[in-house]
Amino acid sequence: MPQINVAKALDRLVPLPQYGGANLDTEESYNLLRWNDPRPKPSWADVVAAWDEIKAEQDSKAEAEQLALTVIEDRTPELLFSVIGWISDCQQAGRLVQPSGLLQKAIDKYRTMTDSG
């Protein structure tokens, strides 16, 4: 069975749960968990199901980011060149402009491609 992040799964099921224990990655270790929360302790099956949901969301987000990055790389190098120029112009004019997230990844990859080519 793949690694389960029990802490994230529990937090999805019972926000800010109160418990104690370590290495909670198997059903046996989960059963030994000290449950200090007044709310009912979720079953192992509930924890596994919650983790599957979280993992699916993470995988979907990663796939969407990769698809968007591929589209940006394949179709809009001119746009990235313009964005990089605009950011540079803004910074030279004393305006703080810092791209983040997917745009920053695309800019970094574009710069790597143009520096090595």
User: Residue-wise pLDDT tens for the chain (117 aa)?
Assistant: 568 889 999 999 999 999 998 767 788 889 999 999 999 999 999 999 999 988 888 777 777 667 666 666 665 566 666 666 666 766 666 666 666 666 677 667 767 766 665
Place of tokens 């990859």: 109
Q: 3-state DSSP call for residue 14?
A: coil
What tokens were used for 93?
């004019």
What tokens were used for 83?
């964005």
Beta bridge partners of 20: 34
pTM of the model: 0.55
What tokens were used for 109?
């990859």
Measured at the CA of 98, the angle between CA 93 and CA 102, to 5 degrees, comes to 145
What tokens were used for 41?
């302790």
Instruction: Say what the pLDDT of residue 25 is.
Output: 78
- Report phi then psi at 19, rounded to 5: -155, 170
Instruction: Say what the pLDDT of residue 97 is.
Output: 60
